[in-house]
Chain A
Amino acid sequence: MTVVADTSALVSLGCGTEASPVELLTDEYSVVVPETVVVELEEVAAYDDEQARAARRVLDATDGLTVENVSLDADFPLDDGENAAVALANERDASMLLCDEFNKIGLVHASLDDVTLVTTPKFLLVLESKGRLSPSEVETALDRIGEIRSWSGNSYVERVRNRL
């Protein structure tokens, strides 16, 4: 079962929590990321803030990830990382594409062939449903990620919380 992730989702999953969602991701699924996403993670990790530490945590876990090169589809009006993740997910016929770019999620969704788009809040609910996270661990992860990714006041994330 192949899962492709873009930079935004990996940074979210790398946000330090006890549950360590990024390890659950690589443990549970065969995760493939485009080389472009690794380059973007390295760029984020070069700063000195919480997002940088999250990106570093993901880069430290790259043993569990398969990195692949993919040619970008110039027709997609997306950033290189998202573009590459979409192209790779389509090419590999992945089951899921993890992406957190809420401002572009409509475009990302429209660019996917037969791949289910999954945001990180949704992915945490999936891990809960699989029994890999408890509701309180999901809540802690959402708090922590929300703080770092500035999700405060986001009504979608609030409703995900209500599902717990």
Chain B
Amino acid sequence: MSTDKKRVQFRAPARLIERTDSLAAVFGSDRTDILIHALREYLRDAAHDDEIKQEIAGAYYDDEISFEQLKSLVGKEEAANFRVLKRQLDEDLTDELAEL
């Protein structure tokens, strides 16, 4: 895994951050560790949730995310499936096949 780190800044509800800090105190870690852990779990679950996976595929079909982004979200194999299905949406292909 890459060790490159990116600094991010965001606003979050105060109560959520308080709870995050409380859990960090329990684990003897810090806010960042808890947030990174939570984010990793969420992204991993999202990649296995059919509904979210279809949302991701839809964004790829509509050119809202790139193939590289798709691959990073759903993995290489699923991304290859969605790439083939995206090609199937090409209207020129319909015309070419209709000529056969």
Contacts and interface: CB of A to CB of B under 8 A. Distances in A.
Interface of A: 1, 95-96, 102-110, 116-119, 121-122, 125-126, 129-130, 153-156, 158-160, 163
Interface stretch (B11-19, B38-46, B85-93): B85-93
A153 B88 contact: no
Contacts of A1: 100
Interface residues of B, number: 24
Interface of B: 50-51, 54-55, 57-58, 61, 77, 79-85, 88-89, 91, 93-95, 97-98, 100
Contact of A106 (B57, B84, B93, B100): B84
Given A122-B94, A153-B51, A155-B54, A109 B61 contact: no
With most chain B CB atoms within 10 A of its CB, the pick from A95, A105, A155 is A155
B39 to A, nearest CB: 24
Given A130-B98, A153-B51, A122 B93 contact: yes
A117 B84 contact: yes
A106 B58 contact: no
Contacts of A158: 58
Nearest to A109: B84
A62 to B, nearest CB: 23
A95 B84 contact: no
Contacts of B84: 105-106, 108-109, 117
B95 to A, nearest CB: 6
A77 to B, nearest CB: 11
22 contacts: A95-B100, A96-B97, A102-B81, A105-B81, A105-B85, A106-B77, A106-B80, A107-B77, A116-B93, A117-B84, A118-B88, A121-B88, A125-B94, A126-B97, A129-B95, A155-B54, A155-B57, A156-B61, A156-B82, A158-B58, A160-B89, A163-B94
